[in-house]
Chain A
Amino acid sequence: MGALQSLPDEPEYRDLSEKTGFSFEQIGILHKRFKQLSHNEDTLRRDDLNTIPDLSCNPIRTQIIEAFFDKRNFHQNGEGTVQEISFEEFLVVMSHFRPPALDMTEEQREIIRREKLRFLFNMHDTDNDGTITLEEYRHVVEELLSRSGALGKETAKGIADAAMLEVASISMGHMEPDEFYEGITFEHFLKILKDIEIETRMNIRFLNMDTTNLCKVNRAYPDCTSLTKYTDKLLESCLWFGFGLL
């Protein structure tokens, strides 16, 4: 793995395609993107992802980047984090965002739902002990509100506490006053989020056409607040606007 070819390599791609479910064209495009991000090297590092300008405005940037380097997301029953990832691992992480096929049975949907929710769970459970503790949850909410300025920290705590209370109430029902709710386990997590239909929401569009040429523009605008950046990107992205709507 790691052949720097511009043409799709049939046997390797076939293997990846079976593993992740992407089509050959999609794998080809993602490979190009991988090479672009990693400056044509075989492996991707955190710094490479840090330089993506779109991510710099994102409040949960660190968690997203961490998720790519989290061994739990590689489907190999590993644990802990790595410093660099190969293309295969990149693809596996990306495959969490693939939409489910049209003709799936209920059990298959359930499996996909669990997989996606597992990804989310791993993002929250940073110390990998199998539960999301109050501290971890507070951290999540704080990061979400981190762009909202001063009142973020206080309210974040309150919101996280209320959310935790809700989970505890739904999952445990009744607890004695001196019992302690350790944290949200994966099963509880599934339970509270079963209504948001994650298998239809946690998807992005993977295109079959080549867009990496357009991404060169990313490099030119390091900051994310200038208006000219909007207009230029608007011009070149008209092509995707229609797709985006549908």
Chain B
Amino acid sequence: MNYFPDEVLEHVFDFITSHKDRNSVSLVCKSWYKIERCSRQRVFIGNCYSISPERLIARFPGLKSLTLKGKPHFADFNLVPHDWGGFVYPWIKALAKSRIGLEELRLKRMVVSDESLELLSKSFVNFKSLVLVSCEGFTTDGLAAIAANCRFLRELDLQENEVDDHRGHWLSCFPESCTSLISLNFACLRGEVNLGALERLVSRSPNLKSLRLNRAVPLDTLQKLLMRAPQLVDLGIGSYVHDPFSEVYNKLKIAIQRCKSIRSLSGFLEVAPHCMSAIYPIFGNLTFLNLSYAPGLHGNKLMKLIQHCRKLQRLWILDCIGDKGLGVVALTCKELQELRVFPSDPFGAGNAAVTEEGLVLVSAGCPKLNSLLYFCQQMTNAALITVAKNCPNFIRFRLCILDPIKPDPVTNQPLDEGFGAIVQSCKGLKRLSLSGLLTDQVFLYIGMYAEQLEMLSIAFAADSDKGMLYVLNGCKKLRKLEIRDCPFGDAALLEDVGKYETMRSLWMSSCEVTLGGCKSVAEKMPSLNVEIIDECEQMEFNLDDKQKVDKMYLYRTLVGHRKDAPEYVLIL
């Protein structure tokens, strides 16, 4: 039923860039499927075990950019053993053997070995971009291979990875001929870097737009780098400590004044608050500010800084900003869309410096707010109801009360009504994380109102299976559900196993599901992998169906059981 030649359709498809839309296009008919798959350049795989590299290669011969996610989200919080899986090596090996001209690789929560980085660096002539988020398993030797061998490298972006740092030599591995860098982010490296090599690299990278330094880069080097790269748009400062009366500091002031394009600022991994005045000229133009690794900035100095940030759209901050500081944000940052408040002292004596008051202030002052991550001391229903009224546009709402089962401190009630107000008001809500004292009631509300919800994180909540059932029955667009420490058992798990095929994954840990229940799911749904993670190896000796399962992770897949699971993972 094609009224157009293939080339025309292909040209039209070029304008369709979102993964969802391209996936939809491929389902229309066989010829659209064929044209789409041959012209597709960017592929996103949310669970690396849902498909195999061979099938990926077979379907998309024109692949240039691959995004892969490995471990389940709760792995970020140490709930998944390190060697559970998510190895990127088999992917790189398969791609290297094929004729795919890979140019970009973006990985999240995957195990990346030096060997895989080296293979990557040698196998794809046009490789341009490597982005690693929350990954592990590699050292600076792997980075050296990327630097040395990727002749046209444009982007090396390392975000919050645990890297074994063998010290500075990797930066020197960028050859003199490498002048193509656009983005370099090594803020998460803990070791020394060769400062001279860094300066030379920046000097010969005229297209450098994004530079995020690690702690080992001192202020005087920063000054030299900024002099050489006044075109920067995104800057991450490493160490920011110096004598404010020194020559170097004056030079820094001059360098900063030349940087008229900086819109995004982060870092301050080490900071002397009395040196901040040199940077003030930048703050007025910032759209993104990340001070969440700078506990040295707090109190009045921090508030004074925020007052300059009139154009801010995204703010990541530590809770030492306090409710008062959030009040300043509310007055100043009228364009704010995203706010993340991280705990500065997560295991301290329970003194998160922000409460419901700060959130209410921001919701009142920043009507464009649509994305929230908020670690706080306490929350009230009244506050949540007010926030829901002030900000009906939330897409992401993640609340973390440091005491996970804390009720509303004013009324001593659970927070059901508050979260209920959020889901009822925010019709576009896609992601929700709950905390505080919660009963089955909040899940009734979620099932009823959260029609667009795609991801839900639950911890220490609910009274019975009903809670989970409300969600599974109500949230039609649910893709990821992760639950810990809730009284949900087999009855909830087994009510509608077909639902799990419409989702990416389900995680349940420290709940009431039994081995028998999990086996039942696996039997009924061969298209799911049902994994039991049993680190204590209780299951090995006692395969009693009535045994409660400590950690269960199930996900849909087209390629059956994975072969790389460690011994303590039982795939049913």
A binds B: no
Q: Which residues of B contact A (CB under 8 A)?
A: none
Q: Which residues of A contact B (CB under 8 A)?
A: none
